[in-house]
Amino acid sequence: MARKVKCRWCNVTDTPKSEMEFELVGKSKPVKKYYHKHCYQEFLEDKKFKEKEAEELDSLRQTIENIFGIKQLPNQAYPFLQKLRNGEQVFGKQTMGKRYKEGYTYSLIEETFKHCEDTIHYWLGVKDFNGFMGAFKYSLSIVIDKIYYVEQRVQEQESKKAMIDNHIKHIVDEEDSVFESSYKKTSKTQEEDILDFLDD
Ligand SMILES: [Zn+2]
């Protein structure tokens, strides 16, 4: 009888190996990790999501390092960014709007850091911060203050782009039909020409 193995996604052991999906993990000595067929899809989606999150966080890290002119973002900075990502309160006293609680993507946080770059540089020049974390937290509060505005702007740009794309598609469709009808006309004329020619 086929041995039943545990699903790495739901942790239930009820299905023979042969009826399960598996993933090979590790390079030098690959190990098979088994999943129910229906769990495997969820696992892949989750994996894709995590990879995208990691990429966005990495890009955000680079942007922050560039703005502050530092080589490596200290580990203490990450929990603050994660809180903003997860829609948790980042600082003690902070009023949170409904939207805020749903969280913001790392790429939107990055976009807002870029938007606030000049303001951050200004405060870095005039205010005395107690080390990097003090300056970072101050900058993050500027970012939080502006993130809703930047989000609205990004959404407006996206809907404008969608409208333009739609419009272009519409124009192209119309051009196609104009082209088709003039093409038909031309070929008909040629046909008539040939008929005329034959008549002669
Ligand atoms: Zn499962």
Reported as a single tens digit per residue, the pLDDT across 119-142 is 999 999 999 998 999 999 999 999
pLDDT of residue 136: 97
The pTM (predicted TM-score) of the whole model is 0.73
pLDDT of residue 188: 53
The three-point CA angle 133-146-140 to 5° equals 5
Q: How far apart are CA 153 and CA 151, in angstroms?
A: 5
User: Residue 187: is its pLDDT beyond 60?
Assistant: no
Q: pLDDT grade, residue 185 (50/70/90)?
A: low
Going by the DSSP 8-state scheme, the letter that residue 129 receives in this structure is -
Burial of 111 (C-beta count, 10 Å sphere; 0-12/13-18/19+): buried
Ligand 1 center–CA 87 separation, angstroms: 29
Ligand 1 center–CA 9 separation, angstroms: 5
pLDDT of residue 142: 95
pLDDT of residue 182: 61
Q: pLDDT grade, residue 179 (50/70/90)?
A: low
User: Residue 170: is its pLDDT beyond 60?
Assistant: yes
pLDDT of residue 127: 93
Mean pLDDT (the chain, rounded): 87
Q: How far apart are CA 69 and CA 175, in angstroms?
A: 52
Residues around ligand 1, an ion, CB closer than 5 A: 7, 9-10, 36, 39
pLDDT of residue 89: 84
pLDDT of residue 103: 86
Ligand 1 center–CA 3 separation, angstroms: 16
Task: List the structure tokens of 189.
Answer: 């004329």
Ligand 1 center–CA 197 separation, angstroms: 77
Ligand 1 center–CA 33 separation, angstroms: 11
